[in-house]
Amino acid sequence: MSKKSIIPGLRALLLIPGALAALVLLCPLSPLAGETGPAGQVRRDFSAAPPQRLISLAPSITEILYFLELGPRVVGVTSYCNYPPEVKIKPRVGTYWEYNLEAILALKPDLALVMLGQGEGETSLAALRHWKIPLYLAKADTLPELFGLIEELARLTGQEEAARRKLPLLRERVQKVEALVRDRPHPRVFLQIDEEPLITVGRPAIQNDLITRAGGVNIAGNLEPRYPIFSLEEVLRAQPEVILFTGMVGAKMVPARTRFWRQWPMLLAVAANRLHFVEPDFIDRPGPRAVDGLESLTRLLHPEL
């Protein structure tokens, strides 16, 4: 099976229905004005004044805002934002790939924040730009990029003290993991996102960075698509020593996926019974809990520690 660059059906999810879509198509997408953030990762298009009414358009952004103690300023979140628990009372403004423009406009935000690379729709972004909603487009594909993004958002919102107090502990935990695994054998890892087709993570995905820092080798880590399709034949040829399951469907899919892989006892991971579920919220979201995900991956890849 050939490798492809996008998850089938994803583009269909990025459309805004009806008249709004027609309106957006008439408005060409203009480049963002503003400045570039750390390492060219972040672009913004808004006033320099500290924003007071924030809308998060990704679960990872929501977790970063609450990490920076900005919960009282968050006026809207996506339907997938579930952490911390107090976010459940916030108004919902759609998914992270299709936004409810009317709900966003009604909340009168000073700033809407988007995490790029998480399935956001360009059509939805075009609608926000058309209605002149101030935007912050963030990108964090590695833990260092994530920490730089948190610092940038802290400066933007006047929460530098919270970042100075909390970020050093996250960095120390990462350094501890990296020191523990540095001189240990690095097992080959296959991370399964979906089953039909078989989807994994490539070089740009934050999961690839987490696997590497946890002392593993992602067998698809040299592929440029963020979420490439990987054939069963390729998995059999690569002989992963550990197979991990994650994805939005959660732990309920583990029995079925375990049964599927047990059909291939010649795989090293199957022979050694190293088939493990990883909580998707910890490794799929570029937010503060990604460090929890790193530690969880380390325990799975190096049970001797």
Q: CATH number of the domain that 289 lies in?
A: 3.40.50.1980
Q: Is residue 177 part of a domain?
A: no
Does residue 14 belong to any structural domain of this protein? yes
Q: Is 104 in the same domain as 131?
A: yes
- pLDDT tens profile 155-183: 999 999 999 999 999 999 999 999 999 99
- Say if residue 233 is in the same domain as residue 129: no
Do residues 37 and 116 both lie within one domain? yes
Report if residue 176 sits inside a domain: no
Q: Is 215 found in the same domain as 242?
A: yes
Of the pLDDT bands very low, low, confident and very high (cuts 50, 70, 90), residue 11 is: very low
Tokens read off for 164: 């100075």
Tens of pLDDT, residue by residue over 70-129, are 999 999 999 999 999 999 999 999 987 888 999 999 999 999 999 988 766 677 888 888
Q: Which two tokens stand for residue 9?
A: 């059906």
User: For residue 179, is it within any domain?
Assistant: no
| 8 Å CB contact between 136 and 113 | yes
Give the Å distances, CA to CA, from 171 to 59, 203, 288. Answer: 21, 22, 10
Range of the domain at 120: 10-168
| 71 neighbors 58 (Cβ within 8 angstroms) | no
DSSP string over 106-151 = HH--SEEEEETTSS--HHHHHHHHHTT--EEEE--SSHHHHHHHHH
Q: Is residue 4 part of a domain?
A: no
Same-domain pairing of 163 and 193: no
Q: Structurally, how many domains does the chain consist of?
A: 2
First to last CA, the chain: 37
* Band (46; pLDDT cuts 50, 70, 90): low
Residues 14 and 148 in one domain: yes
2 is a domain residue: no
Identify whether residues 18 and 163 lie together within a single domain: yes
Name which of 19-28, 207-216, 250-259, 290-299 the model is least confident about: 19-28
